[in-house]
Structure formats: C-alpha cells, structure tokens
Copies of this chain bind each other. A is one copy, B any other.
Amino acid sequence: MAKEKARDLRTGIALLWGEQDRPTRGPKPSLTPRRIADAAVDLADAEGLAAVSMSKVAAAFDLSAMALYRYVPGKTELVELMVESVLAQVPDLSAVEGGWRPRLTHWARLSQQVHRAHPWLLAATALRRQAMGPHQLGWLDAAFAALEPTGLPAAQQHRIFVLIAGLVRTVAQEQVDFDQQHDQEWNRLTGELITRHAARFPHLTHAIAHGAFTPDTADPLDFPLARVLDGVQALIDRTDRDGRTDGNERRGGEEPS
C-alpha cells in the first residue's frame, strides 16, 4: 500500500492521456485499458473497492489475472483509470445563472452525485497526489471558472476550491458509511454508553437531550455548504471594503505555530 515506484506517476499519466502507441505486430489485443477500467468500475459499484482484484476484474472477461498486465502496468494505474472513467462528465457551469455562488453550489452538487453513484471513489482518491487525467483536470478547470467572478486572488481561489472539494468528500464519507442496520446498532450501543457515563460527558449528554443526533431528512450537503459559502461571501465583502487584505487576518486563531 505504501510502495511508490517513482515511475508510477509518469506511466500513470501516459496511460491516462492515451500517449502510448499500440503496435501492429502480434495478435489483436482483445482489451483496452478503458474496457478494463469500466469493468472494474462496474465491479466496484456492485461490491466495493475491496472486491476489485486483478483476478476478479479479469474474470469479467474470462481471462486470467495476468492478462491484464498486458494493458495496465499495475493496480495503482488501474484505479487511476477508474477515477478518470467516472469523471467523464466534466461539468459545464456556464449555463448556471447568478454568479459564483450558484455555480460553485452546482459544482459541489455534481461532485456529490458522482460520489453517491460510486461510493468507492472516495477511497480511490484518498491518498497521495495521484496522476490526473483530462477529465479530472476538467473538473478543476470548471471550479476555477466558477471562482473567477469572485475577484479574489488566484491563491485564495485555490484554497476555496480545496475547501469545497474537501467538504464534498466529508459529506460523501458520511453518506457512504451510512448503513441503516449498523447505524442503529451504533446509536443504540454508543447512546447507552453515554447515558451510563453521563457525568463524564456533560455537554454531549446535554446536546443529545436537545436532539443533536436526531436523524435529519435534509440533504447533508446543504447546511455545511451554505456555511462555507457564507464564509466566502464574508471574505469577498471584506476584501471589497478594505481594498486589500490577504485573507489570513487574525480572526480565528492566534498562536504562531
């Protein structure tokens, strides 16, 4: 899981951007990286990322596991291809009216939908700065397009993008993990624990008594996204008013390190 090979990035990129020349000799290839990735996506959608093993993917084509290595350097690159495949619908936000806020909101919702449709995406993009394909860069471009009208410095636009992308991930995480059965069990057992040790967790107890953990039918993205965008709006207002601030003012934390 932590074996980097240094050449992975380069080979991954080559694969993602289709920069390989399939030669003309020998038998016709029966597969393509794309077809393999799509089969892997189907498998992951149905049984989770953990079920995606070289042999199970190969089995979808009635081939042996090793056959895949003719098309894909290794599993790392296969997962990168899966991500790219799933992001094929690059958002076009130019039709969204109302400026940066509705556009960013729409971007976030589209991203959330992809995560909902492919719960494994979260785990697949979790670690490392991986090789990015054209579709992934397309999503990034769309986000910057939405942020441009804020008039904020590019560095801050980037930070806001990271913030919102992270938010979508967080919310997706909650939704992915959700499991009626398991969740009820968890609520029951943990609730019982807290009640038993109420004196040790007074504020938690108080909050629960006032409905903090009451289930909620609203889309879980609504509330946090509204908060974050309010925060961005506040930054824009302050920047417009003050002429120039770097956005890292003293509000919200003092200690130097």
A interface list, Cβ under 8 A from B: 1-2, 4, 6, 9-10, 13, 17, 48, 50-51, 101-102, 105-106, 109, 123, 126-129, 131-132, 134, 137-138, 140-142, 144-145, 147-148, 153-160, 162-163, 166-167, 169-171, 173-174, 177, 182-183, 185-186, 189-190, 193-194, 197, 200-204, 206-214, 216, 218-219, 221-235, 247-249, 251-255, 257
Contact = CB atoms under 8 A, between A and B. Distances in A.
Contact of A227 (B17, B102, B232): B232
Contact of A189 (B13, B153, B209, B231): B13
Q: Chain copies in the assembly? A: 2
Contacts of A226: 231, 247-249, 251-253
A183 B232 CA distance: 28
Contacts of A251: 101, 226, 229-230
A152 B160 CA distance: 25
A56 B10 CA distance: 32
13 contacts: A2-B48, A9-B186, A9-B189, A102-B254, A131-B189, A137-B194, A144-B206, A144-B207, A154-B206, A154-B211, A221-B253, A226-B249, A228-B228
Contacts of A48: 1-2
B248 A159 contact: no
Interface of A is mostly: helix
Given A141-B202, A251-B230, A252-B226, A212 B154 contact: yes
Given A186-B9, A204-B141, A230-B235, A155 B214 contact: yes
Nearest to A202: B141
A227 B228 contact: yes
Contacts of A200: 134, 137-138, 141
A48 B116 CA distance: 29
A104 to B, nearest CB: 9
A223 B248 contact: yes
Nearest to A256: B219
Q: Nearest 7 A-B pairs (CB), nearest first?
A: A166-B170, A231-B231, A227-B231, A154-B210, A1-B50, A230-B231, A154-B212
